[in-house]
Amino acid sequence: MRESNLLQPDKTGLLVIDLQQPLLEVMWNQQELIANVRRLAEGARILELPVLVTEQNPEKLGPTASAVAEVLEGRSPLPKMAFSCCREEGFMEALRSLDRGAWLLCGVEAHVCVSQTAVDLLDHGHDVHVAADAVGSRVRANWEAGLERARRAGAIITTTEMALFELLERAGTDQFRAVQRLIR
């Protein structure tokens, strides 16, 4: 049974899925997507959340795009060939080692890797939140379908700002002021 539908900083991790340059270049919402992933990554640093990063077929698609990698502070991406992160050898072990029951997802593509990962994480008993403004697909219809698929499976569809303020829990703190600067 769920403890809360709200993200809690001591129980949440950030999962950044497949933000490689060739994939980012064809996203319909590329600029918003990059800006919001950067906000989430910076917010995770401020809030001291664990972060996992994946790269789809990095031998062909290359590393995480520099616009995103620069805010991930040298985290080593987990390479994958499976669309769902959960179906890649070693991913679930890395996830379990962080001991978080809730995962905030961002990345690409909403209707493939993001939605399949969301469904698998839910099936493994995790709470899943998908930041709609920090995920993308090549076309808007696929983005919408991917978010709807994740929602119907039980994921909470959120936004970057909603997620960050849930994780903050209150105003007036140093963390609040730091995150507030990211949003403005």
- Find the helix or strand (DSSP H, E) in which 155 lies: none
The residues facing 179 across adjacent strands are none
Token duo for residue 175: 């963390």
What does the alpha-carbon distance between residue 156 and residue 124 come to, in Å, rounded to a whole number? 16
Residue 109 preceded by cis peptide, ω within 30? yes
Active-site residue numbers? 18, 80, 113
Return all residues near 18 (Cβ < 8 A) that are at least 6 apart: 54, 55, 56, 61, 80, 107, 108, 109, 113
